[in-house]
Amino acid sequence: MTTRRRHIAHLHLHTSLTEDQYGDIIELMSGITPHVQAVPPNAVQLDLTSALRYFGLSPYDAVQLAKLRLKALYGIDSSAGLAGNRMVAAMAADASTPGETTWVPAERAAEWLYPRPVAALPGIGRVTATTLGRYGLHTIGQVADLPPVTLQRLLGVGQARLLSERARGRDPRLVTPSEPAAHLVADLVFDRDCLDPAQQHRAVLGLADQVGQRLRGEARITGRLTLTARYADHSSTTRTRTLPEPTDHSPVLAAAALGVLSSLGLQRARVRAFTLRADRLRPAADACRQLSLDSADTRARAAEAAADRARRRFGPDAVRPAATARPVRDSRGRGVSWPMAG
């Protein structure tokens, strides 16, 4: 059986973060891939393997997407390493200048490592590096070329085996996500500053639908939504709304989110990005939904479940709210109709 090639990204965040800010960054990255591992105090690792098909991006472009979100939403510059495993990705990030991404394809990992100092390998301390240096072993390539038996005589069996594997660019460790986050975040960054209220309305509606999909996918419900609008001058406005009852139902989330949007009173504000945050999360099994005699609610939830199944099978754009679509224009540029999505 052929093993699927992994694509691991390591991002260094060039700023100091509070615990809450770091948690927000982890949650932001989980909007790209569920396989996110914290590397405190200011780095994260992402396994992008399963996300590439979802977004239709190359590994390099997926890393740029993550960096763009960090910059646009939090003003954070980052350097990144991209490789076939966690160790090489971290080393590539260390070798990158702020804003740069270093991509080391798996087939070139040994070649890339060869001329680097042996102390650059993770877990190689000063004592080990000094011991190797006494025997003329200063680069990773020199260690990789050394017979395993000779290395064992210098360092002992256990340490020699680990160092030999790392010198050849091998690292079997997986990116291990932490416990489920205490909140979910969906974000949208406009291509250019947005002054159009209708476009802002569609953006927030789309974010609410994303949050609903993720809640249902993780079998959780939320009791509160927070909407943040970030402006062209890097200022922001935040409003929070507590829901009447915890839910994962997208229409309810959309109504609440649009209510918060209205309360912001944006008028002609130049909006750069929106972030919708859902917290007070609980397992969906704990949900207490008020009974209704309205069959429309039952039909809406059944349609929502069918849409979720279609997205899982055919991709995230298979079904979407019609209100989030843009008007179709004729050859003269006139708006003629709103396409039905899905």
24 and 123 within one domain: no
User: Which residues sit opposite 277 in a β-bridge?
Assistant: 185, 226
193 and 244 within one domain: yes
> For residue 278, what are its two tokens?
């859902």
Q: Find the distance separating the first CA and the last CA of the chain, reported in whole Å.
A: 36
pLDDT value for 94: 93
- Answer yes or no: is 333 within a domain: no
45 and 20 within one domain: yes
- Answer yes or no: is 125 within a domain: yes
- Answer yes or no: is 202 within a domain: yes
Q: DSSP secondary-structure letter at 212? A: H
Mean pLDDT, the chain, as a whole number? 84
- Domain span at residue 66? 8-108
> For residue 214, what are its two tokens?
């993720």
CA–CA distances in Å: residue 214 to residues 44, 165, 236, 308, 329:
21, 38, 25, 10, 32
- Answer yes or no: is 76 within a domain: yes
The pTM for the full model equals 0.60
Q: How many CA atoms lie within 13 A of 51 on its CB side?
A: 22
147 and 85 within one domain: no
263 and 245 within one domain: yes
262 and 141 within one domain: no
Q: What confidence category does residue 320 fall into, taking pLDDT thresholds of 50, 70 and 90?
A: low
- Answer yes or no: is 292 within a domain: yes
161 and 194 within one domain: no
Using only C-alpha atoms, the chain has a radius of gyration, in whole angstroms, of: 24
Query: Phi and psi at residue 171, in whole multiples of 5°?
Result: -155, 105
Q: How many CA atoms lie within 13 A of 246 on its CB side?
A: 18
Q: How many CA atoms lie within 13 A of 244 on its CB side?
A: 7
> Around Cβ 341, how many Cβ atoms within 10 Å?
14
- Answer yes or no: is 173 within a domain: no
Indicate left, alpha or beta for 39 from its phi (over 0: left) and psi (-120 to 50: alpha). beta
- Answer yes or no: is 337 within a domain: no
What is the rounded average pLDDT of the residues 307-335? 55
Q: What confidence category does residue 338 fall into, taking pLDDT thresholds of 50, 70 and 90?
A: very low
> What CATH number is given to the structural domain containing 257?
3.30.1490.100
311 and 227 within one domain: yes
- Answer yes or no: is 331 within a domain: no
The answer to whether residue 260 scores a pLDDT higher than 90 is yes
Helices (H) and strands (E) in the chain, counts: 12, 12
193 and 319 within one domain: yes
208 within 8 A of 257, measured Cβ to Cβ: yes
> Around Cβ 135, how many Cβ atoms within 10 Å?
13
CA 202, distance to chain mean position in Å, is: 22
Q: Which of 108, 123, 150 is the last residue of a domain?
A: 108
> Around Cβ 160, how many Cβ atoms within 10 Å?
19
Q: What is the pLDDT of residues 95-154, one digit of tens each?
A: 999 999 999 999 999 999 999 999 899 878 788 889 999 999 999 999 999 998 999 999
> What CATH number is given to the structural domain containing 139?
1.10.150.20
188 and 321 within one domain: yes
What is the rounded average pLDDT of the residues 179-187? 77
Q: What is the pLDDT of residues 61-77, one digit of tens each?
A: 999 999 999 998 889 99
137 and 93 within one domain: no
Q: What is the pLDDT of residues 267-293, one digit of tens each?
A: 888 999 999 999 988 888 766 555 555
In total, how many domains does the chain have? 3
> What CATH number is given to the structural domain containing 49?
3.30.70.270
